[in-house]
Structure 1
Amino acid sequence: SASGTLSLPEIEGKLKLGYTYPEQIAASNTGEIPQFVRITIKKYWMTKENSKRVDLSPALIELKFNEDGWIKDEKSSTDEREVYYYASVLEPGQSTSDLTSTLSVSPKVMSEKTEENYSYNDLKFCLEASVDAVQNRHAEEAIKSTWGVTASMNGDGTRITAIQ
């Protein structure tokens, strides 16, 4: 939502495993200069006491990514974190295309159990999306300095063609 919270009105109190819920994540340029943007998505499991469970698979929190217009940073991405760069420069007032379209929790969470209960019992899944941007002036240098990656650009500097 505009307030930054994930809202799934279709759930009505209970999450259905394997069911895909709409979840669109995008970014907007609310500034006054053209920018290149990056979105980092983190997925993980937490206890009721808000302790992160690093022993459980974040891959079971499934997002469908729309990679059209986005470049995935394979080197920086893991099961817990995925990093995407919007390929085109984002002009003031413009928004990116949606990076994601759906969210689901895999039914495989039911296959992991101890003698007494399921490993994922009473846990909540967490999904964090963060956006940061760099100016389009001297974009290659700004991207390298700010994000620590090398960006290849098209001839007029309006599009990232590759990330290394």
Structure 2
Amino acid sequence: MSEVMNGQFKILVTRFLAAEGLSLSDGEADKNWLDIVASLSWRTALLVKPDANVGNAMDPCMYVKVKCIASGSIEQSEVINGLVFKKSAAHKQMRANMKNPRLLLLQGVVGHSSAGLLSMDSMKQENDHLEKILSDVIIKCKPDAILVEKAVS
């Protein structure tokens, strides 16, 4: 039964690769792409378990990001269950090595939204409110590092 499912899954991956313009009939390198993409996507599917009953989004794009690193071979492709940084995220005055760091992850933008015009009073109130909330969270969690998804203003 699992061989049939694996075969059907590889047929589906073959169709997706063909739709992206990767030919599977030319040479051995393309066969490697089929095996690697099928393996990576299967392992990723086993890791991602959204629960619609809790209110989580069912779109896997909310949970999975694909990053391309320009060097290396296709055999070095792998699934990483965690955070990946492309650049050095540490400030020059920040400790570079930490054992068992406490991280605070903030989703979204920290700062003003550009959704519309605000008066100076409402901007100041919004800024004060945001500072109070963030300082309360930082004091409560005592993180070694704070990671923000998008931008900080």
**Under a length normalisation based on structure 2, what TM-score does the superposition of the two structures give?**
0.23
Higher helix share: 2
Higher strand share: 1
Which structure is higher in RCO with an 8 Å CA cutoff and minimum separation 6? 1
Q: Name which one, 1 or 2, has greater alpha-carbon Rg.
A: 2
